[in-house]
Amino acid sequence: MTVAAQFQFHDNVLHAEQVPLTALAERFGTPLYVYSRRALRDAWQAYADAVRDRDVVVCFGMKANSNLAVLNEFKNLGSGFDIVSGGELARALAIGADPAKIVFSGVGKQEWEMRAALQAGIKCFNVESEAELERLAEVAAQMGTIARVSLRVNPDVDAHTHPYISTGLKENKFGIAIEEAPKVYQRAQQLNSLKIVGVDCHIGSQLTEVSPYLDALEKLINLIDQLADLGITIEHLDLGGGIGIRYVDETPLTPTQLLDAVFERLNARGYGKLQIVLEPGRSLVGNAGVLLTTVEFLKHNEAKNFAVVDAAMNDLLRPTLYEAWHSVEQVVKPASDTPVRQYDVVGPICESGDWLARDRQLALRQGDLLAIMSAGAYAFTMSSQYNTRPRPAEVMVDGTDIHLVRPRETLESLFSSELTLP
């Protein structure tokens, strides 16, 4: 099993930095999200080391984890933000993010979201359709301002990842076909309320090799050449995010490996001075968090053994959504006389799809504390209140210090805004 760098065993108890996870479960209850501040900083430093003196803007893809404490940490480290909604814009502005380092992605931007982003003065809209381009131009004209735009182009590159997190194929909903892009750029050039500043691309998530990026990059450079022939120059090339993390035995590429390969290709094609924008999400936060859960019951059936825990698919949707693998660690090393069995780790929700891990070799007793690892990305942000279950608290550990960064929801809060009929 995989244990992240800032989550290690000391005296047979799993710790977050210098704090035993048992103490956090006792104090805050379970389910509980626990993040490591050091892990966030270490992940950011990997990008800082990769950037060096090159013109690169790193914008955290905040859909991975939008807790204000996490966002504020990255802002203080120098990050910009990749947003996909007006709500995420509001979160970024709430922690004092620099609007000039915010890029707005997403296929379905509404007028109010465009207005809010224009009023804030963001770096760029990543436009994903001709219809969106026309709407944005109209909104900007009504406001008497100029919208800075790039087109998200779809290069039809296979990212070799799960279909649900692949975004760069022709059959995906994202972006504009790269063959159509020159025509759409020409239309953008005709609209006085728009300023073309970039080319954008994002081919998928949890990428573990550099070749898909380079396949896409070659097509993007060819597009930039075509645009130059049309008299259209750009200020930046946005390569999206997508660098994967280690969930079990993956060996993901590093930010340095990616940027070195990208700039080698750019230099060879005469674009070495072009600003590069990156939108990492999972690689900055994925291994910085765990989900703590308590074993409520053990069921030993003829066909299966089940560990029924107090966390569920509404707390961590990834396994149910696309059979994602998360390592499961017993927070306290089991006694030697506890039998090892193969368990499915399942939650209390009334759905057969409510599972967190399958076929795991565990030596369990009722009441044991488990840590679902690599739960810092696409975990709490995808959570819900299904079955009227309050969402967990979130805690940030900093050395020996413990910070509650989001309290557990109360039952009353779940329906306090609802009304009955007269």
Choose among 215, 276, 270: nearest CA to 240.
276
* Residues ≥6 apart with Cβ < 8 Å to 192: 141
Distance CA 61, CA 39 (A): 17
User: For residue 277, what is the enclosing H or E element?
Assistant: strand 275-278
Confirm or deny that 54 is annotated as ligand binding. no
350 in catalytic set: yes
Confirm or deny that 351 is annotated as ligand binding. yes
Strand ranges in 128-251 using DSSP code E only, listed in sequence order: 147-154, 176-177, 194-200, 236-238
Confirm or deny that 318 is annotated as ligand binding. yes
Choose among 68, 3, 19, 116: nearest CA to 400.
19
Task: Look at strands 56-61 and 275-278 and give their pairing.
Answer: parallel
Confirm or deny that 378 is annotated as ligand binding. yes
Beta bridge mates, 1: none
**Active-site choice (59, 124, 201, 350):** 350
Task: Look at strands 7-10 and 13-16 and give their pairing.
Answer: antiparallel
Confirm or deny that 280 is annotated as ligand binding. yes
Confirm or deny that 242 is annotated as ligand binding. yes
Confirm or deny that 185 is annotated as ligand binding. no
Confirm or deny that 138 is annotated as ligand binding. no
Distance CA 407, CA 289 (A): 16
Beta bridge mates, 192: none
SS3 130: helix
Confirm or deny that 339 is annotated as ligand binding. no
Which residues are catalytically annotated? 350
The binding site for substrate consists of 282, 318, 322, 351, 378
The binding site for pyridoxal 5'-phosphate consists of 242, 279-282, 378
The binding site consists of 242, 279-282, 318, 322, 351, 378
